[in-house]
Copies of this chain bind each other. A is one copy, B any other.
Amino acid sequence: MDMTKRELCSTGIEELDIQMSGGIPLGSTVLVTGCSGSGKTTLCMQYLFDGAEKGDRSVFFTITEPLFKLTKNLESFSFYKKNLIESGMVNIIDLRIISERLGLDTEKYTVDDAGALLDILKDIANELEVKRLVIDSITALCYRLQTREMIRDFIFKLGTSLAVMNCTTLLTSEVPPQTYKFSQYEIEEFISDGIIFVGDIERRGDLIRTLQVVKMRGTDHTRTKFAMHISADRGIELMPLLKSSEIDSVLTEKVQSSLRSWDIPKEKVML
């Protein structure tokens, strides 16, 4: 696709940008879906700090992790720059603290509470003129609503709000492990322009993190599954999954070598 017409927002993960022909189209709402421990929060943080380096002010709304823990965990990563926090380029806000200030029950929201929270969220984003926004997680936010109907209404309202805001948003979406669905309520994807799925595959007893761009409207993205590495030095990186050359091919090579010589066949990673 000719993406020159559209402005793109880099993610701070080089290989991921390449997979999407440059980045996320500005103004998109993207679900980052995966189970607990799959690296969603780190991915979002790296995205925000990358933006801040490039001049995009950003805000991260958390609903489960207290600020001090979040920050402590962040400090291990080299992409974390304290000065970007201090200069107000990256803002991390605990929705529970906001809830408290609003006089809301922090563990249980009514429809009105959720509406009030949404308004505050919008106000903050507008006032700060943020370009990048993260809500971590939409699932935990919805858990505070009491009925499925309330949740559905809230998600559609959130979608409407985000659509008119001027920023590129990541919503983390938590699903059970080893489950390939995009969201807890199967409604969240209706308000999203893109879906990035972070999963696991088990290989010889290890859990390998994977990342796949399932959907990204307005980009010519691949849908290849990558191995996703997380390290303190380089944050998140994508690498090709060593593909199984399938049982039969491995077998054949080994049969060859068994006929030819007594070499120990080289280890191959099975997909």
Please report A residues at the B interface, Cβ cutoff 8 Å: 1-3, 5-6, 25, 27, 35-37, 64-66, 69, 72-73, 75-77, 96, 106-108, 139-140, 143-144, 146, 149, 152-153, 156-157, 159-160, 163-164, 174, 176-178, 180-182, 186-187, 189-193, 195, 200, 202, 204-209, 212, 214-215, 217-218, 220, 222-226, 231-232, 241, 243-260, 262, 264-265, 267, 270-271
Cβ of A94 to closest chain B Cβ, rounded Å: 11
For A252, the chain B residues whose CB sits under 8 A away are 251, 254-255, 257-258, 265
For A195, the chain B residues whose CB sits under 8 A away are 36-37
> Which 10 A-B residue pairs are closest in the complex by CB-CB distance?
A37-B215, A1-B232, A252-B254, A207-B223, A107-B156, A205-B225, A73-B218, A36-B189, A1-B76, A256-B258
For A27, the chain B residues whose CB sits under 8 A away are 69
- What are 13 A-B contacts with C-beta separation under 8 Å? A5-B75, A36-B214, A108-B153, A143-B187, A174-B190, A205-B271, A206-B222, A207-B223, A245-B267, A246-B270, A248-B250, A249-B250, A251-B252
